[in-house]
Amino acid sequence: MKTLVDHIVKVGIADLKFAEAPMHLRTSGLGSCVGVVIYDTRLKIAGMAHVMLPDSTSAKKDNINVYKYADTSLPVLLQTLLDKGAKRYQLKAKIAGGAQMFSFSSTNDMLRVGERNVVAVKQFLETERIPIVAEDVRGKSGRTIEFSTETLLLNVRTVNQGTQDL
């Protein structure tokens, strides 16, 4: 007999995974990182990306981890869902994370990684016309998220703030 733990696909930092009903996708360690779930409402299949940075153009090496960046992981997430039979018009998104984990007196935009991640994710989803139906972004606290492909709910646990379903 399978337990709930057997139904959880763990998504690591700078990682991307897929699941179908009744599986769950879970990632933790979302500080300035953003967790992005794109799912097909009819097929009940989903992918989750744990985006660390907004843009791969700042990478210093050639063999980058494409799952680390919004501009490289999200196209892979979308195309894989379409390859699995998802219909573009059925796709929805839920996002969480992008906190400002540290206080800086500097106005240097490079230090505002959480904000830059949120903007990059939203720009991609808008360009691809995938509606964001729920979000819990920014703030100052880390999060763990778990998405149910069965109920299509995103459970967000925020440090020192409790849990909510989106």
Give me the number of domains the chain comprises.
1
Residue 83 covered by a domain: yes
Q: Which residues, including other chains, have CB under 8 Å from residue 14's CB and lie 6 or more apart?
A: 50, 51, 52, 65, 67, 68
Residue 2 covered by a domain: no
Per-residue confidence (pLDDT) for residue 1, from 0 to 100: 45
Residue 5 covered by a domain: no
> What's the Cα-to-Cα distance from 108 to each of 103, 113, 125, 165, rounded to whole Å?
12, 10, 26, 34
Number of neighbours of residue 4 by Cβ within 10 angstroms:
8
Residue 153 covered by a domain: yes
Per-residue confidence (pLDDT) for residue 103, from 0 to 100: 65
Cα–Cα distance measured from residue 38 to residue 152, given in angstroms and rounded to the nearest whole number: 10
CATH of the domain at 105: 3.30.1330.200
Q: What digits encode the pLDDT tens for the residues 72-126?
A: 999 999 999 999 999 999 999 999 999 987 665 556 566 689 999 999 999 999 9
Parent domain of 73: 11-165
Residue 79 covered by a domain: yes
The β-bridge relationship of strands 24-30 and 8-10 is: parallel
Q: What digits encode the pLDDT tens for the residues 16-69?
A: 999 999 999 999 999 999 999 999 999 999 999 999 999 998 777 778 999 999
Per-residue confidence (pLDDT) for residue 133, from 0 to 100: 98
Residue 117 annotated as catalytic = no
Active-site hit among 30, 33, 93, 95: 33
